[in-house]
Every structure is written in structure tokens, then in C-alpha cells.
A and B are shown apart, each in its own frame.
Chain A
Amino acid sequence: MTVWRAFKRDRLALLGAIIVAIVVVVAILAPWLAPAPDDATIAVHPVDGLLAPGSGHWFGTDQVGRDILTRVLFGARTSLRIAIEVLVIAALVGMPLGILAGYAGGIVGDVIMRITDVFLAFPALLLSLALAAVLTPSVSNAAIAISVTWWPWYTRLIRAQAATVAASGYVTAARALGVSHVRILIRHVVPNAAAPVIVQASLDFGGVILTAAALSYLGLGAQDPTPEWGLMVNQGQTLFQTHWWVVTFPGLAILVTALGFNLIGDGLRTIIDPRQVLHDRGS
């Protein structure tokens, strides 16, 4: 309840929450909200290509006559799906490794962290690009390619948290009382590590959506006719000077969604993990 009150006081975070809520609702209700749901899948209407925004098509049509509003609305599904897939994979891989490295320490911790460092040594987007180029371009493979670059951040984050908890007095006491490692991990380490993971994941949502859009823009992510905002920007890039709406609306969708997630992430960080804010501001 305290968190919610603090959250409500942060107007920017509230704005972010509203944006994210709208995006989520749009993603869920897209088939009912979209004026031409078939245009999100396989339908084309070439003779209606590049119609300007108007009463028939609020966001205009693309080169093969598909309703852009429909594809922008369905694009929310694609972007959220990729973001959720990436963050779930990153958390499922990164958290156990981080906990193990932090709690066990020693050689096990060193080996895990050196492997993590190897992945972190590559620029994230470059590694994603390389992987996506090797895999067949698709939404799922884009999610896999991004996940490979994303999990090490979670490992590093959790490791620090787990090491701190492992060295704390109450954990030492619990060990002395004969509590098992598994129970210590479940009861003490994981709950303590959850907060920074939530903050990080909320911050990462926007980043993943942007990275996925970048991959699709470069032809390495979603493929036509999948409605994906980055792909839509790619398909309309030569039209920007002559038919602005083809690029502008999916571009705005990316901008607004990424902004919403970043605002909500910043707000959560301030509330849940104020030390990091102080650290950031002081640095």
C-alpha cells in the first residue's frame, strides 16, 4: 500500500503506468478494437495502397492497402510478446545463475561470473544482430537472440544481492541452526533479490521493445505480414517524404510504449530501491 501511495505521488510514473495500461489493454482487445482485423494477418488490398489518413482509415493505409491503425494496434501484441519472452528467459536463466554465484561464491561463482563477463563484453545490439542473422528471421528467434544478450545483466544484479544476503547475520544464524541451503535460498535470498529484478525488468521492457524493433527494422526480426512496429517503419522508410503516415504511426507507437515503460521503471526504482537513485544521482 505504501508503494502504491508513493507511486501515485510520482506523476511521471503514474503517466507511465497509464501508458502501459493502455498498451496492455490495446494488446488484449486488438481484435475488437481494430477496424480491419484481417489486415493484421494475411489480407491485402493493393488498389487501396497509400491512402492518406481519413474517415475510412484513421491512420491511412500502407503500400498494399492494409489499414495502418489495425496493424499498429496488433503491433502492441507483438512488442509485448517479445518483451515478455525475453525478460522471462533472461530472468529464468540469469536469476538462478546469479543466486548460485552469489550464494555459493568461490570457484563456482568465479566461473559463472567470468562466463557472464564474456557475454557482457559484446555490445548487446551487435550480439543480438549477429545471432538473429544466423537464425531464420522470426519473432521467436528475435526474442531468443535478444535473450542471449540480456540474461547476463540479471546474473550480475542478482549475484551482488545474493552475496550480500548470504553474508548477512540472519543467514549465518539460520545456517548455524541447521536450516538447509534450499530453504535459505527460498526464504531469504530470492525474496531479497526480487525487488531489484522487478525494477530492472520494468526498466528493461522499453529497452527490449526498442531492440526488437531495431532487429525487425533491419529485417532480422518479425517478417511480413506479422504486424510489428519496427518492421512497419522499415517498410515505409522510403515513403517518409511522400507518405508520412506509413512510418509515423508505428514510430510513435514505439516511442510512446518505450517511454511508458521507462517512466514506470524509473518510478518503481525510486520507490523500491532508493539507494540506486541516490547512487545514480551522485555519480
Chain B
Amino acid sequence: MRQRGAFVATIAIAGAIVAGACGEVKQATSPPPATSGGGTTATTPAAPTDATFTYESLNTIVTSFDPATAYSNEVIALNNIYEQLTRYDSTTKTVKPLLATRWTPSADGKTWTFTLRPGATFHTGKPVDAASVKASLERTIKLGGGAAYEWGAVDTIDTPDPATVVFHLKYPAPLDLISSSAYAAYIYDTTAAGAGDLAKWFETAKDAGSGPYTVASWSKGQENELRLEAYPAYWGGWDGAHYKHVLFKYVQQPTTREQLLESGEATFADRLSPELFTQAKSSATLQSSERSSFQNLIAFLNTASGPLKDPNIRRAVALAIDYPGIIAALKGSAVPASGFIPDGLLGYADGLAYTQDVAQAKSLVAASAQKNITLTMTHANGDADQDLVSTIMKSDLAQIGITLNVKPLEWQTQWDQAKSTNPKKRQDIFVMYWYPDYADPFSWFTNLFHSASPPYFNMSYLNDKAVDTTIDALQSQTATDKAAAETSYAGLQKTLLDAAVAIPLYVQTYQRAFAKTVSGYVDNPAYSNVVFIHELTPTG
């Protein structure tokens, strides 16, 4: 799985470009928070008053507590501790209010005015006002880590009054959507550390958010890793039944996760194996949720060196794969991909899937000057789904006379090898998941297919000026002319697929299992694996 590390802002800033008139005005005035967690807050008489929500995670929870730079699995906790100005609702496909109650872009799309929610306070006791919004976002942008690249369009931030924040942009950008990002869009109290170093203060497991929960304890490397407690002064209130305590538990074994759920020792599992998920669905004490996600598995083909530098060999690889077989083997935890953009996001189009054609693949290999082709493929160690895909691909490529050597590696090793300055040390095929930082397809293209030297996430090592130019115009087009953006995304995907730069293997289906005592859960794939716990109701 993609692990998010410190991000080089320049990669995406390079993708953000120029002008045009703003075509769409988005405005929201309704006060309630986004209902991505379901929004069902009905009180039941049997509800416990001191319930604990125990979240079982496949991965360790916290790599960083700094809301400016955090770019990994801690997002599942931070989205319950911190809040953004807005939140994206994947069900209605709209941006909803959070710390901002309304927002208005100017006619040219280069000035965005946000009105803040009254009564919100940070866990430090300080009110959430325009100055704190400006200070936190300016710090995030200045540090330039994690997903800070999203704010590349921002020129200056004004605070005409404590309840109003005005963003002046260098070029039009969908700032309401960017403000809803799961990463680097948190509003926090930059004065929390006093005269001390705020980054160091955060790393002692402290928080300065405005969300419903605050950090109670952190035990690095332990199974019971992170505990949160309710923030009593949360603006959303605690009337009715709510989970007051939260435990994030690191449980790697799927069977153990399922057993803890069954026994009532855990409330929610982010992922089980498809077979255990089927078992959980029929359990008397568990319920389940299945939803196609914005997360897809992509095989990046090395266009710069090795046997796959030849586009015909790349096409042969793409044509050799048994895509329906992969979907069948994953037993309901994946759906076919059509292009690189998952269904539900701008730019998704039908008819962009590869179809297996072994005869054509064989003829492409036979026509090539290369003989006895051997390819090396790296993927994440310990990911059972990727193990299955590797087994199937190895068999499929053997059919066309290509030997595939599969190397499951720890993420950092896999990534470092791919970024090696010596092209001979790089892999031929790099497999990883990708999902967006906010509900928009831009991150797939600016990160994965825009030229980058040295490579960062561009694991196909593509260096195509025409592709770069198209990508550079996307963000602006999205803000000003969605139809044009749709056309650009469709054309771009076709170009990339025709050249077999990378192969979208499937889109993951999020399969969640959780206790029957939880009411109101709705998966929001724009916030990968996040449960908005305050919006849930414990019922038993």
C-alpha cells in the first residue's frame, strides 16, 4: 500500500496552472456537519453513556502527530481530532460545511471567502477564528510536507474580521474541495506550544485540534496504540448517545481482527480478508459495509529502461493479464478498473479497461527483437491481495514467454529501490495502491504521470512533455470548466493506456465489519479508512 511520506511540493505545484473564469459558484449555508459518518444521531434508551469505540487497524496508527505534515495512517485518528474548513460527502458528491459554514468564490475563481462557524474552540481553549485559520494554513504551506502541495494556488490569506477568511489565489482552483482534504487541511492552534517549538510539542503526542476527540495516551509500537477521549466543549455537542472513548488498536492478523470483533473486544475493523468478511456478514453480533472506493491498484511499467522500454512489450504485458480472473480471485473485495480514475470522481469514464488477448500479446512478443524476457516486479510485502495478483500475473506472463520474478518488499525498500539513481537497480514493474488526498483525480496524474526528476511517485519514469502540458492545465480547468476537465482526463487516460505506461488492475472495494451495536456508519471513501466516530451512536 502506498505509504505517504514527506512530499515534495514542487511536483504538484508544477501541475497547477493558470487562469480562466470561474464557471461555478458553490455555496452552502446549512449549519450541520457533513454526514459522511451517516449522521444518524437518534438517541436510544439502551445506549451506554460511556461507550468505547475500538478501531482495529491493519497498520500501525501514528507516524506523526503534526497536522501540517502527517501523511500516513494517522489520518484515521487525526480526522477525529482535527477539523478542516469543509468536508466532502461521497454519497451526495458535495462539499459540506465543517469549521466554515459558507464559502463563496469570486467570479474569476481567484478569491474565496469563507465564513467560520461561531462557537468552535480548540482543545487548548482558544476560539477557532480567522487568525488561527490563517496561521495554521500558512504554517502548513510553509513547512511544505505531506500534502501541502494542495495549497499551491494560494497567494495570500486575509482576515478582514474574526469570522471571515479570504484566500487570494494565483490561479483558479477548487478551494472548497481542497479545504476538505483528508491531509494538510487541518485547522489547529499554532500557539499551543507557547514559546516552544510547535513541531516538537506535537511529537510528544499532544494535539491542538478542534475536533470531537483529544489525545489521551499514545503507546508507540504497542497493540493498544492510541487512546482518545471526548473533548467536552466540542461545538457539535455531546447530547444523546456518543462514543466518549476511542481506542486505535494495531492488529495485523485478519483472523485475530475477526475474532476480536466476534468477541466484542473490538468495534470496527478496517479490513478483513474477503473470506473472513463473508463470515462476518453472517455473524449474529456483527454488521458490515461494502463500498467501492477511490483506491485502485496500479502496476507501473518502467518506460525508461529494461525490456519494458519497448512499448510493444508493455502492451503485451497489459494484454496478457487475466483481469476478470483477478477480480474473481479477490472474491468481492475488488471491482474492475476502467482507466486510472475510480468511479465517483470527476473524469471517470467507461470503456477504458484492458481486455486479455493472449494471442495478440504473444505476437507482440514474437515480433520483438528481445528474447527470453525476464521482468522483476516489486509489491508490498504482507499484502495478501497483492500476493494473489502476483501469482496470477506470473502465470499470465509465462503464457506469453515472459518470466516474472516477484519481489515482495517492505514499502520503504520498494520505494527506495524504485527511486534509485542507478536505473539498473530499479524494477520493471512497480505495484502500489493510490487514492486521492481530496476527492479529485488530479493527484493520480500530477504525482504518477507528470515527469519528475528525480522520480518520486512517478514509478513509470514517464517523461512526456505533451502529457505534462495536459496535466498542468487540469487543476485550473476543474475550477473553471468541468466539462473541459472531463475531456482532458479522458484523453489523458487514453494516451497513457495506449502507450501502456501503467496498468490499472482493479478498484478496491472497502469491506468493513463492525459491531451490531454501532448505528449510523456510512463509509466515506474520500477519507480512506476514516471513521467519523462522533457521528456514530452506540446502541447497546
Residues of A within 8 A of B (CB): 42-47, 49-50, 63-65, 219, 223-225, 235, 237-243
Which residue, A43, A49, A64, has most C-beta atoms of chain B within 10 A?
A64
Return the contact of A49 from the options B254, B279, B331 (Cβ within 8 A). B331
Which of B212-220, B382-390, B445-453 faces chain A?
B382-390
Chain A nearest CB, measured from B461 CB (Å): 25
**With a CB–CB cut-off of 8 A, which chain B residues contact A46?**
322, 324-326, 328-329, 392
B329:A49 contact, CB within 8 angstroms: yes
Chain A residues closer than 8 Å to B255, beta-carbon distance? 237-238, 240-241
| Cβ B394 vs Cβ A63 within 8 A | no
**Main SS class of interface, A:** loop
User: In the complex, which residues of chain B have a beta carbon less than 8 angstroms from the beta carbon of A43?
Assistant: 395
Nearest-neighbour CB distance to chain B for A181, whole angstroms, equals: 49
B8 interface residue (CB < 8 Å to A): no
In the complex, which residue of chain A has the Cβ closest to the Cβ of B382? A219
- Residue from B276, B324, B381 whose CB has the most chain A CB atoms within 10 Å: B276
Residues in A with CB closer than 8 Å to B258 are 241
How far is A49 from B324 in the complex, measured between Cα atoms in Å?
Answer: 13
Instruction: Supply 4 further A-B pairs (C-beta < 8 A) apart from A46-B326, A64-B391, A238-B253.
Output: A224-B390, A224-B391, A225-B394, A243-B275
Chain B window 242-280, contacts with chain A (Cβ cutoff 8 Å), 1 for yes, 0 for no: 000000000001110010000000000000010110110
Judged by a CB distance under 8 angstroms, whether B398 is at the interface is yes
Residues of B within 8 A of A (CB): 253-255, 258, 273, 275-276, 278-279, 322, 324-326, 328-329, 331, 381, 384, 387-388, 390-392, 394-395, 398, 406, 408
Residue of B nearest to A235 (CB): B387
Distance (whole angstroms) from the CB of A276 to the closest CB of chain B: 41
Q: Is the CB of B276 within 8 A of A63?
A: no
Residue of A nearest to B258 (CB): A241
**Is B406 a contact partner of A239 (Cβ separation < 8 A)?**
no
- 9 residue pairs from A and B, CB less than 8 Å apart: A42-B395, A44-B325, A46-B324, A47-B328, A50-B275, A225-B394, A238-B255, A238-B384, A241-B275
B388 touches A63 (CB 8 A): yes
Tell me the bound Cα distance from A64 to B395 in angstroms: 10
Evaluate whether A63 and B329 lie within 8 angstroms (CB atoms) in the complex, with A224-B390, A235-B387, A238-B384 already known: yes
Bound: A223/B391 CA distance, A: 10
Question: Which residues does chain A contribute within 8 Å of B322, judged by CB atoms?
Answer: 46
B69 to chain A, nearest CB (A): 32
Contact B279 A242 (CB under 8 A): yes
Given the complex, which residues of A lie within 8 Å of B390, measured CB to CB?
224
User: Which of A42, A50, A65 neighbours the largest number of chain B CB atoms within 10 Å of its CB?
Assistant: A42
Instruction: Determine how close the nearest CB of chain B comes to the CB of A228; give it in whole angstroms.
Output: 14
Q: Please determine whether B275 and A64 come into contact, CB atoms closer than 8 angstroms.
A: no
* Smallest CB separation, B137 vs chain A (Å): 43
Nearest-neighbour CB distance to chain A for B251, whole angstroms, equals: 13
A225 and B278 contact, Cβ closer than 8 Å, known pairs A46-B328, A49-B331:
no
* B398 lies within 8 A of A42 (CB): yes
Q: How far is the CA of A46 from the CA of B398 in the complex (A)?
A: 16
**Which B residues are CB-close (under 8 A) to A47?**
324-325, 328
Give A242 to B331 CA distance when docked, in angstroms.
13
Q: A46-B329, A224-B387 are in contact. Are A238 and B273 (CB under 8 A)?
A: yes
Which chain A positions have C-beta within 8 A of B278?
242
Residue of A nearest to B392 (CB): A44
In the complex, A235 Cα to B278 Cα: how many Å? Answer: 18
- Whether the pair B254, A238 counts as a contact (CB closer than 8 A) is yes
Residues of B within 8 A of A50 (CB): 275, 331
Q: How far is the CA of A63 from the CA of B254 in the complex (A)?
A: 16
- Rounded to whole angstroms, the CA-CA distance of A241 and B395 in the bound complex is 28
Q: Please, how many angstroms separate the alpha-carbon atoms of A241 and B384 in the complex?
A: 16
Q: CB-nearest residue of chain A relative to B279? A: A242
Residues of A within 8 A of B406 (CB): 223-224
Contact yes or no, B408 A219, CB < 8 A: yes
- Which single member of B276, B328, B395 contacts A242 (CB below 8 Å)? B276
**Which residues from chain B contact A241 at a C-beta distance below 8 Å?**
255, 258, 275-276, 279
In the assembled complex, the CB of A27 is this many whole angstroms from the nearest CB of chain B, namely 24
> Which chain A residues border B329 with CB–CB below 8 Å?
46, 49, 63-65
A residues in contact with B394, CB < 8 Å: 42, 224-225
Whose C-beta in chain A lies nearest to the C-beta of B259?
A241
**In the complex, chain B residues whose CB is within 8 Å of the CB of A65:** 329
A237: chain B residues at CB < 8 Å are 255
Interchain nearest-CB distance for B244 vs A (Å): 33
From residue A43, how far is it (CB to closest CB) to chain B in Å? 6
B331 and A44 form a contact (CB under 8 A): no
Tell me the bound Cα distance from A237 to B406 in angstroms.
Answer: 21
Q: Which residue of B lies closest to A45 (CB)?
A: B325
How far, in Å, is B341 (CB) from chain A's closest CB? 25
Q: Taking each of B324, B395, B398, B408, which has the highest tally of chain A beta carbons within 10 Å of its own beta carbon?
A: B395
Closest to A239 in B: B275
- Output the residue of B325, B331, B406, B408 with the most chain A CB within 10 A: B325
A225 to B395, CA, bound (A): 9
Smallest CB–CB gap between B274 and chain A, Å? Answer: 9
Question: How far is B399's CA from A45's CA once the two chains are assembled, in angstroms?
Answer: 13
With A46-B322, A49-B328, A49-B331 known as contacts, the answer to whether A242 contacts B275 (CB < 8 A) is yes
List the B side residues contacting A225 at CB < 8 Å.
Answer: 391, 394-395
Residues of B within 8 Å of A235, CB to CB, are 387
A46 vs B394: C-alpha distance in the bound complex, in angstroms?
Answer: 13
Q: Which residue of A lies closest to B322 (CB)?
A: A46
Q: Which residue of B lies closest to A47 (CB)?
A: B328
Are B392 and A64 in contact, CB atoms less than 8 angstroms apart? Answer: yes
Instruction: Compute how far the CA of A219 lies from the CA of B408 in the bound complex, rounded to whole angstroms.
Output: 9
Query: Chain A residue with minimal CB distance to B407?
Result: A136
Residues of B within 8 A of A242 (CB): 275-276, 278-279
Chain B residues near A49: list those with CB within 8 A. 328-329, 331
| Nearest 7 A/B pairs, CB to CB | A46-B325, A46-B329, A242-B275, A44-B395, A238-B273, A42-B398, A46-B328
What distance in Å separates the Cβ of B356 from its nearest Cβ neighbour in chain A? 12
A229, B391: Cα distance in complex, Å: 17
Residue of A nearest to B404 (CB): A42
Cα of A47 to Cα of B322 in the assembled complex, Å? 10
Query: Closest residue to B393 on the A side, CB-wise?
Result: A44
Cα A241 to Cα B253 in complex, Å, equals 13
A238 contact set on B, CB distance < 8 A: 253-255, 273, 275-276, 384
- Nearest CB of chain A from residue B237's CB, rounded to whole Å: 41
CA distance A223 to B404 in the complex (A): 12
With a CB–CB cut-off of 8 A, which chain B residues contact A45?
325
What is the CA–CA distance of A46 and B275 in the complex, to the nearest angstrom?
Answer: 15
Max count, chain B CB within 10 A of own CB: residue among A43, A46, A241 = A46
Report the minimum CB–CB distance from A142 to chain B (whole Å).
Answer: 16
Closest to B254 in A: A238
